[in-house]
Amino acid sequence: MPSAVSANSLDGDTTRRATARARALTAAMPRLILEARRVAATVIHGLHGRRRAGPGENFWQYRRFVSGEPAHRVDWRRSARDDHLYVREREWEAAHTVWIWPDRSPSMMFASPLVSDTKLDRALVMGFALGHLLVEGGERIGIPGLMRPTADRNVIDKMAQAIVHDRQAPSSLPPSFSPSPLAEIVVLSDLWSPIAELRRTIAQLSATGAHGHVVQIVDPAEETFPYAGRIEFIEPEGAGTITAGRAETWRSDYERRLDNHRAAIRQETDRLGWTFTIHRTDRPASELLLRLHGQMGAGPNGTGIHRWRALPLSARHV
């Protein structure tokens, strides 16, 4: 029964690796939570939410009455103190849902000697920090397949608990689900999945009219291919290994394939009105958080959260 023994051995190795990854993630979580809070606090101090008039309970401001408006909108007590009529406006309070997907697949565990953090570390820090920032702005945060939308002020802890207690095999892309038309989706991944899978996932998530943001988190070594000599490359998700006799001769072909892959992603996001951002782990996390914060609510037609100004689409790289 050699084949059966081999299969059992393989299953055992897979289980041990999965258990080791889970333990490592659990041990690292307190550090990542603290880093996420620090990054969020850094960005919060430099931002001011854009308040909007609309349905709600909290007073925002008085403004001049405009001819043609219903008379019942006039605040007569305020108007009695002046020669003009005034309307009492309330702050817009419609909360929207933002779904945040941090890729936790094995490829995200990579960190070259050029950096100290893995791609997974950065994805989790970004997901936690963005969740905290958006909840502070009055929005609800959820993780597809893991956590229902919540506006709890302890959203970072809730997200961390949901991830730590997840017993499913981590996938590279969000599970299939139907977000509401006004929802927004943030995908934090290295996006090394086949382009057909990426297109299918983005198309499915946008089918209801939801707006989204696709962020490719990469190690600087994945950008520059700083390898030379005989190198064995190991695919972390079970596709095997490949050996390069002179790795430096592969650089130009690698760069061309990388550019083509990204061009295909950008073509799909542009077609659907989504955003595509590239972030290297040797850059500060606060840069990416600030950009994402600015993009939230922009949407192809200005729909969505509405609370923040969109950044220029020309600035694609972080």
Read off the pLDDT of residues 62-117 as tens digits, 9 standing for 90 and up: 778 777 778 887 888 888 888 888 887 664 444 589 999 999 999 999 999 999 99
Q: What percent of the chain has pLDDT over 90?
A: 41
Which pLDDT score, from 0 to 100, does residue 22 have? 64
27 sits in the region (left: phi over 0; alpha: psi -120 to 50; else beta) called: alpha
Pull the structure tokens for residue 46: 């430099």
End-to-end CA distance of the chain: 54
Please check the confidence at residue 310 and state whether its pLDDT lies above 60: no
Count H helices, E strands: the chain?
8, 10
Which pLDDT score, from 0 to 100, does residue 15 have? 57
pLDDT band at 303 (very low <50, low <70, confident <90, very high): very low
Distance of alpha carbon 38 from alpha carbon 314, whole angstroms: 28
Which pLDDT score, from 0 to 100, does residue 69 have? 76
pLDDT band at 129 (very low <50, low <70, confident <90, very high): very high
pLDDT band at 218 (very low <50, low <70, confident <90, very high): very high
Residue type, 56: G
List for the chain the helix, strand, coil content (%; round to 5). Answer: 40, 20, 40
Which pLDDT score, from 0 to 100, does residue 238 have? 65
Please check the confidence at residue 294 and state whether its pLDDT lies above 90: no
Which pLDDT score, from 0 to 100, does residue 54 have? 47
Identify whether the C-beta of residue 37 lies closer than 8 Å to the C-beta of residue 132.
Answer: yes
Element (H, E) at 278: strand 275-280
Weakest mean pLDDT among 72-86, 123-137, 294-308: 294-308
- Across the range 176-193, mean pLDDT stands at 92
pLDDT band at 150 (very low <50, low <70, confident <90, very high): very high
Which pLDDT score, from 0 to 100, does residue 88 have? 75
Which pLDDT score, from 0 to 100, does residue 18 have? 58
15-60: pLDDT as tens digits:
566 567 667 767 888 888 888 988 888 776 555 444 444 444 455 5
223-267: pLDDT as tens digits:
988 888 888 887 776 667 778 788 888 899 999 999 999 999 999
